[in-house]
Structure 1
Amino acid sequence: MITSGSAAFWRATLALCLGSYMIFANVYITQPLLPMLAQAFEVSALQAGWTFTVTTLTLGLSLLIWGPLSDALGRRWIMLLTMSGATLVTLLLSLIESYTAMLVLRAIQGVLLAGLPAIAIAWMGDEFERPAMLVAVGLYIGGNSLGGISGRLIGGFVGDWLGWAQAFQVMTLLSLVCLVVFALLLPRSEHFTPQPLKPRRMLADLGTHLRNPVLLLAYLIGGFNFFIFVNQYSYITFVLAEAPYNLPASLLGLLFLTYLSGTVGSAIAGKVGQRLAQPLCMALGILILMSGSLLTLSDQLWLIVLGFFVNSFGFFFAHSSASSWVSQNAHHARASASSLYLLFYYTGASTGGFYLHPFWEWLAWTGVIVGSLLVLALTLTLSLVLYRLQQRSGASVG
C-alpha cells in the first residue's frame, strides 16, 4: 500500500490532481463563452446555456456506468481512455460550425469526462493507506476547484482575445499536456481485485449502497451542500450587476477566484480528518459555509467577496471529508459508491436553482440566504446524525 509522504504517494497524487484539473477545466470552459456562443450560433441565452448544462447532465449520469465498469475491468486504463477521448472531443469542438454539433459533442464529452471522477477516489481507496488517502483526497478535490477556475478564465480571456474556437484549441493543448503527465506519473494498480461484470450485480451494488445509512447520509450531505453552494453564485451575479455595484461581466467572472480558498479547504480537510471524526469535519465545513453566507448579506462589496471566500473554504472542506468518507466506508464496489456520491452532487448542482428561485422572488438576495440556511441546517443535522451512527456502529473513524 502507498504510504503518506512516499515518492509513490506524490507521483500518484500529482497525477490524479492533474487529471482532476483537466476534467473540470473542460467542464466549465463554456460558462464565460455563453454570450459569444449565443451570438455566433444565433441562439437564445437559454439555448446557449445548454452547452454547459448538457455536459454536467451526461457527466452525472455516466458516473453510474464508469464506476461499476472499473470495479470489474480495472481503473487506470479506463481513466486514460476517457481522458484521451475527452481531449479529442475538445479539439473537435474547435472545428464545428453548427449549434447542434456543439450540443452533441458536449454531451459526448460529458460522458467521457465522467471517467476519472467516477474512478479516482476508488483508485486511492485500493492503493493508499488510510492516512495517505485522507491527504490525497483533499489535494485531489483541490484540483477540481483549480480546474473549474482555470476553465472559466481560459474560456473568458482567450475567447475575448482570439474567439471561442481558439479557446477550445488552447484547452486541447492544456488537456494533452495533463494527459501525458498523468500517464507517466500514475502507478499501475497493485491492490485492485476485479469483480465479474454482471449488470444485475452492478444494480444490486448500487441498491446496497443506497440502503446503507452510513453512505446515504454522506450522499445527501454532499448533494444538498452543492445544491446551495454553486447556485448562490448564479444569483449573486444579478445582485452585483445592478446598482450600486454595476460590475461588468469580466469582473463578475473573477468572482470564481473565490474557489481558491476551496483548494486550501480541501487540502486542510485531509489533515484535520486524521485528528477529528470525518462527520464532525463535515459539520465544521457546513458551519463555515453558513457563516460565509451570512457575511454576504452586507452591503459592502469587499464583505460580499469575503463571504464567498469563506463559503468556498467551508464547502470544499465538507465535500472533501464526505468524499473520502464514502470511499472508506464502502467495503465493496468502491467506485460504484463514489459514483453515487457524485451523482447526488451533480444532481444537487442542477436542481438547486429551482429551489432558490422562489426565495429570490420573495426577498431577493436576503431570501436566497434564508433558503440556503434552511438547507444547510438540514445537512448540519445529517452530519451529526452520521457521527452518532459512527459511534454506534464503529464505522471508520476520521
Structure 2
Amino acid sequence: MIEAHSRDWWRATLALCLGSFTVFINLYVPQPLLPELRHTFGVSTLAVGLIMSVATLALAAALLVFGSLSDAVGRRVIMRVTLLLTALCTLGLALVQTFEALLVLRVVQGFVLGGLPAVAIAWMGDEFDKRALMLAVALYISANTLGGIGGRIMGGVAAEFGGWQTSFLVVGMVSLVCVAVFWKLLPVSRHFQPTPFRLSTAFSAIVGHLRNPMLLGAYLFGGLNFLIFINQYSYITFRLSEAPYGLSTQWLGMIFLTYLGGTLGSALSGRVAQRLSQPACMMLGVTVFMAGTLVTLSTALPLILVGLTVNAFGFFFAHSMASSWVGRHAKVSRGSASALYLVFYYLGASLGGVYLEPFWQVAGWWGVAIASWLVLLGTLMLAAWLRQHEHALATPNITH
C-alpha cells in the first residue's frame, strides 16, 4: 500500500487533485456566462438555467454507472478516458451554433464528468493505507472547491475579452494540459481486484440504502440544500447583471470567490463535530445558511457578497457533516451509499432552477430568498429528526 508523503503518494494525490480541479472547472464554467448566453440565444432565465441543470442531472446518473463499472474494468482507465472526453466536450461547446446543440453537448459532458468523482476515492481506498487515504481525501475535496471557483473565474474573465466562445476555448485548452499531466502522474493500480458486475447485487444495495431512514434523511438533506445553494448563484448573476449593478461577465465570475467561505466551513466542521453531534452541526450549518440569505436581501453590493460568503460557509459546513454521516451509518456497500448521496446532491442541483424560477418571476430576489427559506426550514427539520432518531437508537430501551 502507498504510504503518506511517499513519492507515489505525492504523485497520485497531485494527479487526483488535478483531475478533480479539471472536473469542476468544466462543470461550472458556464455559470457566470448565463446572462450573456440568455441574450445571445434569446431564451428565458429558466431555459438558460438548463445549461447547468442538464449537466448536473447527467452527472448524477453517471455516478452509479461508473461506480459499479469500475469494479469490473478498473478505475484508472475510467478516470483517464472520461477526463479526456470532458476536455473535448468543452472545446466542442465553443463551436455550437444553436441553443439546442449546446444543451445536448452539456448532457454528454455531464455524463463523462461523473467518471472521476465516482471512482477517485475508491481508487485511493484500493491503493493508499489508512493515514495516506485520510490526508489525500482532504486535499482532494479542497481541489473540488478550487475547481468550482477557478472555472467560474476563468469563464467570466475570458468572456470579457472574447465572448462566451472564448471561455470554453480557454477552459478546454487548460483542461487538456491538466489531463496530460494526470495521465503522466497517476500510478498504475497495484491492488485493484476486479469483480464481476452483477446488476441484481448493485440494485439490492441501493434499495437497502433507500430503506435506511438514517441514510435517506441525509440524502434528502444534502440534495435539498444543494438545490438552493447552487441555484442561488445562478439567479444572483441575473440580479447583478441588471441595473443598478450592471456587472460584466468578468466581475460576475469574481463573485464566486465567495465560495472560499465554504472552504473555511468545511475545515472547521470537523473541529466543531468534536463538541456537537453531527445532526446538531447540520442544524447549525443550515441556520447560518438562512442568515446569509437574509443578508443578500441588502441592496449594497458588499453586503450581498458577505451574504453569499456566509451562505457558502453554512452550506459546506452542513454538507461535510451530511456526507460523513453517510459513511458512518452505511453498514454495507459504503461505496454505493456514498455514490447515492452524490446522486441526490446533483439531482437537487438540476431541479433547483425549476423550483426557483416561479418565485424569481413573481418577486425577483426576494422571491428567491423566500423560496430558499421554505426549503431550508425543511432541511432544518430533517436534521432535527436525525438528531432525535440517533438519540433514540443510542438510548437503551428499558421495559418493566
Fold in common (TM above 0.5): yes
Change in CA separation of 1:198 and 1:99 when aligned onto 2, cut-off 3 Å:
same
1:44 aligns with 2:36: no
Contact 2:158 2:250 survives alignment (8 Å): no
Report what 1:258 is aligned to. Answer: 258
Contact 2:157 2:249 survives alignment (8 Å): no
Q: Deviations over 1:88-108 (max 9, x none)?
A: 333344455555544433222
How far apart, CA to CA, are the structure 1 residues paired with 2:2 and 2:107? 36
Contact 2:32 2:252 survives alignment (8 Å): no
Contact 1:121 1:338 survives alignment (8 Å): no
Report what 1:213 is aligned to. Answer: 213
Report what 1:90 is aligned to. Answer: 90
Change in CA separation of 1:322 and 1:135 when aligned onto 2, cut-off 3 Å:
farther
Q: Deviations over 1:77-97 (max 9, x none)?
A: 222221122223333444555
Q: Give structure 1 stretches of 5+ with no counterpart.
A: none
How far apart, CA to CA, are the structure 2 residues paired with 1:55 and 1:102? 11
Report what 2:234 is aligned to. Answer: 234
Contact 1:154 1:171 survives alignment (8 Å): yes
Q: Give, as a single letter, the amino acid of the residue that structure 1 aligns with 2:262.
A: G
How far apart, CA to CA, are the structure 2 residues paired with 1:89 and 1:259? 26
Note the C-alpha offset of 1:248.
Answer: 4.5
Question: % of aligned pairs identical?
Answer: 53
Q: Give, as a single letter, the amino acid of the residue that structure 2 aligns with 1:228.
A: I
Note the C-alpha offset of 1:243.
Answer: 5.2
Note the C-alpha offset of 1:195.
Answer: 3.8
Count of aligned pairs between the two proteins: 393
Note the C-alpha offset of 1:258.
Answer: 0.9
Q: Give, as a single letter, the amino acid of the residue that structure 2 aligns with 1:346.
A: Y
Note the C-alpha offset of 1:218.
Answer: 1.5
1:26 aligns with 2:26: yes
Report what 2:141 is aligned to. Answer: 141
Q: Deviations over 1:197-219 (max 9, x none)?
A: 01222222211111122321221
How far apart, CA to CA, are the structure 2 residues paired with 1:4 and 1:391? 36
Report what 1:286 is aligned to. Answer: 286
Change in CA separation of 1:44 and 1:69 when aligned onto 2, cut-off 3 Å:
same
Note the C-alpha offset of 1:346.
Answer: 1.6
* Helix, strand or coil at the partner of 2:287: helix
Q: Give, as a single letter, the amino acid of the residue that structure 1 aligns with 2:147.
A: G
Contact 2:227 2:349 survives alignment (8 Å): yes
Q: Give, as a single letter, the amino acid of the residue that structure 2 aligns with 1:76.
A: R
Note the C-alpha offset of 1:356.
Answer: 3.5
Q: What is the TM-score of this pair, normalised by structure 2? A: 0.83
Note the C-alpha offset of 1:154.
Answer: 1.9
Alignment of 1:1-398 (within 5 A): 10-34=10-34, 44=43, 49-96=49-96, 100-126=100-126, 136-189=136-189, 192=192, 194-241=194-241, 244-270=244-270, 272=272, 277-360=277-360, 364-390=364-390
Contact 1:38 1:48 survives alignment (8 Å): yes
Q: Give structure 2 stretches of 5+ with no counterpart.
A: 395-400
Q: Give, as a single letter, the amino acid of the residue that structure 1 aligns with 2:353.
A: G
Q: Deviations over 1:240-294 (max 9, x none)?
A: 4555545445433322221122223234435555675443433332232122122
Change in CA separation of 1:276 and 1:125 when aligned onto 2, cut-off 3 Å:
farther
Note the C-alpha offset of 1:306.
Answer: 0.5
Q: Give, as a single letter, the amino acid of the residue that structure 1 aligns with 2:379.
A: T
Contact 2:53 2:351 survives alignment (8 Å): no
Note the C-alpha offset of 1:223.
Answer: 0.4
* Helix, strand or coil at the partner of 2:181: helix
How far apart, CA to CA, are the structure 1 residues paired with 2:372 and 2:139? 27
Note the C-alpha offset of 1:222.
Answer: 0.7
How far apart, CA to CA, are the structure 1 residues paired with 2:242 and 2:92? 38
Note the C-alpha offset of 1:309.
Answer: 0.5
Contact 1:143 1:263 survives alignment (8 Å): no
Change in CA separation of 1:3 and 1:311 when aligned onto 2, cut-off 3 Å:
farther
How far apart, CA to CA, are the structure 2 residues paired with 1:360 and 1:232? 10
Q: What is the TM-score of this pair, normalised by structure 1? A: 0.83
Q: Give, as a single letter, the amino acid of the residue that structure 1 aligns with 2:355.
A: Y
How far apart, CA to CA, are the structure 1 residues paired with 2:71 and 2:11? 23
* Helix, strand or coil at the partner of 1:298: coil
Change in CA separation of 1:38 and 1:383 when aligned onto 2, cut-off 3 Å:
closer
**Residues 270-279 or 206-215, more deviating:** 270-279
* Helix, strand or coil at the partner of 2:197: coil
**Residues 74-83 or 302-311, more deviating:** 74-83
Change in CA separation of 1:55 and 1:210 when aligned onto 2, cut-off 3 Å:
same
Note the C-alpha offset of 1:60.
Answer: 1.9
Change in CA separation of 1:314 and 1:358 when aligned onto 2, cut-off 3 Å:
same
Change in CA separation of 1:71 and 1:291 when aligned onto 2, cut-off 3 Å:
farther
Change in CA separation of 1:322 and 1:16 when aligned onto 2, cut-off 3 Å:
farther
Change in CA separation of 1:2 and 1:33 when aligned onto 2, cut-off 3 Å:
same
Note the C-alpha offset of 1:153.
Answer: 2.1
Contact 1:3 1:132 survives alignment (8 Å): yes
* Helix, strand or coil at the partner of 2:297: coil
Report what 2:398 is aligned to. Answer: none
Change in CA separation of 1:194 and 1:128 when aligned onto 2, cut-off 3 Å:
same
Let me know the Cα RMSD of the aligned residues: 3.3
* Helix, strand or coil at the partner of 1:196: coil
How far apart, CA to CA, are the structure 2 residues paired with 1:192 and 1:214? 31
